[in-house]
Amino acid sequence: MGLGGMDTMLANRNCRMGFCNGAAVATLDNQALCLNHFLSRCYEKLEKLEPRGRKFSSEPVDLTSMRAFIEECSRKALDISLHSQSLTNLQRGRLLDILLWAGELFLLLRAPRLTLAQSIASSDEHFAASAASPNF
């Protein structure tokens, strides 16, 4: 019983961002976040992972943790959109946007050496062959 408040971690979580005291709807990277901060955190991180717009970055690319983040954020976004009662249309739109973007990034990261243009070109080339093969 040393530190009061430790046990509120799971039961009664509040957003951990700055001075925001909003009710947490999800955790991301083990941080409890309110809906608005969840959305902005997702956007922020997805933007960093976006391979198509990426400037040369000195940070090493860790595909495993990138995939883990993408999975986590899409799972949580889906969860929130299914279980939150009081979403505004804007918030729903953003959750959907995050889901779609995360799904797209996940596919791009499966073939990190291909640019989008290249993968479109090569799927054209092999159109006849891939039509017969289970390529999904």
Q: Which residue ranges make up the site for Zn ion (CB under 5 A)?
A: 15, 17, 20, 22, 34, 37
Angle, CA 124 vertex, CA 118 and CA 129 arms, to 5°: 120
CB of 112 to Zn ion, least distance (A): 33
Could you tell me how far CA 63 lies from the centroid of its own chain? 14
CA neighbor of 63 nearest in space, from 54, 47, 81, 51: 51
Q: Which is nearer to Zn ion, 80 or 105 (CB)?
A: 80
Shortest spacing between CB 12 and Zn ion, in angstroms? 15
Shortest CB 35 distance to Zn ion, Å = 8
Please give the Cα distance from 98 to 86 (Å, whole number).
18
22 vs 51, beta carbon nearer Zn ion: 22
Nearer to Zn ion, 15 or 66 (CB): 15
